[in-house]
Amino acid sequence: MTTASRRRRRLAVVLLAAGVLMGCATSPDRLPELDRRFYYNLPSREDQDAFLRLKASQRQGFLEERGLWEQWEALPKAEREAAGHSEVELGFHEFAVFMAWGPPADTQDRDDNGRPLRLHTFIRCSSGPKRGRYVQSNLDCDGTSSETQVAIGDGVVTDIVYPN
């Protein structure tokens, strides 16, 4: 191995260690649970990439700039706690559902007897390595999956349907 190769290898190790010490995450799986839930609800891939590069102490400010922290704080304590356990109930706010299960795989806007209604479809892996996780496509499961449909009216959950 040449001296230049050793230096490059040493530099790579130092940079990797610096990233770890700074609290940066290299993937969403390495984030603390609540941060991971926020990560999946960020509006763009660019925001997600930027979020991973932040120190833990910088993440709340980042979320505040995008309005997500305010939405989280506006939820009743019971909804925040339930979202942390991936639980959703009738009457919960739409954002609590997103924090519990991530963004929906599909959304349809409908008219329910003259009232606007939004229908979200969530896909949950029921077997395989991602069992229990919510994904954007059933192909992401590497196993079986099930769908849950959540109806939102006036910003709150009005119905939960398990079609499978």
DSSP assignments along 61-119, one per residue: HHHHHTTHHHHHHHS-HHHHHHHHTT---TT-BHHHHHHHH-S-SEEEEEEETTEEEEE
Distance (Å, rounded) from C-alpha 88 to C-alpha 101?
Answer: 9
pLDDT digits (tens, 9 = 90+) for 39-83: 999 999 999 999 999 999 999 999 999 999 999 999 999 999 999
> Domain limits of the chain?
1-74, 76-164
Architecture of domain 76-164 in this structure = 2-Layer Sandwich (3.30)
Distance (Å, rounded) from C-alpha 25 to C-alpha 30?
Answer: 6
DSSP letter at 157 equals E
Model-wide pTM > 0.85: no
The confidence band for 18, taking pLDDT boundaries of 50, 70 and 90, is very low
